[in-house]
Amino acid sequence: MAVQKKYALGRGLDALISSEEVKTSGSSSINEIELSKISVNPNQPRREFDPIALQDLAESIGEIGIIQPITLRQLSEDSYQIIAGERRYRASVMAGLTTIPAYIRTADDENVMEMALIENIQREDLNSLEIALAYQHLIEQYGLTQERLSERVGKKRATITNYLRLLKLPAPIQMALKNKEIDMGHARALLALDDPKTQIKIFNEIISQGYSVRKVEEIVKALASGESVESGGKKITPKGTKLSEEYTMLQNHLCSFFGTKVQLSCTPKGKGKISIPFNSESDLERIMEILDSLKKSE
């Protein structure tokens, strides 16, 4: 059976894609699933869950939601079993959630499913998350490297990598990508941020403000440089960029000197930015006069 699978996957796209439609009940997808329809796996090797750590996770989920979807196996139309993520499932129940984002796996015919996955990857109507899930499934099923997978499906390795990275995004962003509320350009820009909470903050601004990919790239670039950004009346500060006591004193001094709330940001490497806001043309003229006076006093 294993030999058959390997041969089928290795025949190439020309041999797999025919004029006849390949039908399969095996697939991978991401959906919001009611917790009441989910059961734990009785063969789960992990039996003990640290109650304190579980409570901490529940509080985190209550605050920002599920970051990484769990993985389920569909047993029937209204029944699912956990493959991976029982701890997230238990914490979600504790947090009072009624649904949870999950990758759904069905595998009634693995041979046909792999053939269909490779064919479907070439279809233009698949969204980027569906393609990412298909790539991930092929890697897991056959133990392929990204390099080998790129050869099998006729795509550059960088393309494979970019799709797989989408699966590292927080679940709400993956759901939005699936529902075409954002496109892959938005998602790829968010991947430049390491902090899931910041990713979700920017994602919410994309939805509420209708930001273009270029705008998101500008915001992410500023945050990555240690700068705070204003969006929709909110100030978003990059993680780990709290000013030292010395820089805070300098910022306060500048605020007092210019008579306005000067913004100062600084990265751990010492690179930063000073921003002097003004409220009107006359306020700008006042600030310019201060700068001019400094130049004259040199």
Residue type (1 letter), 178: K
Classify residue 198 as left (phi > 0), alpha (psi -120 to 50) or beta. Answer: alpha
* CA–CA gap between residue 232 and residue 32 (Å, rounded): 28
Convert 101-138 to b/e letters by CB count within 10 Å (16 or more is b).
bbbbbbeeeeeebbbbbbbbbeeeeeebbbbbbbbbbb
State the catalytic residue, choosing from 32, 86, 119, 151: 86
Q: Could you tell me if 213 and 220 are in contact, meaning their C-beta atoms sit under 8 angstroms apart?
A: no
17 backbone dihedrals φ, ψ, rounded to 5°: -95, 110
Q: Rounded CA gap, 240 and 68, in Å?
A: 22
Q: Phi and psi of 297, rounded to 5°?
A: -80, -5
Catalytic annotation present for 20: no
- String of DSSP letters for 166-181: GGGS-HHHHHHHHTTS
* Residue whose entry in the numeric block shows the structure tokens 């499934």: 137
Collapsed DSSP state (helix, strand, coil) of residue 111? helix
Catalytic residue ranges: 86
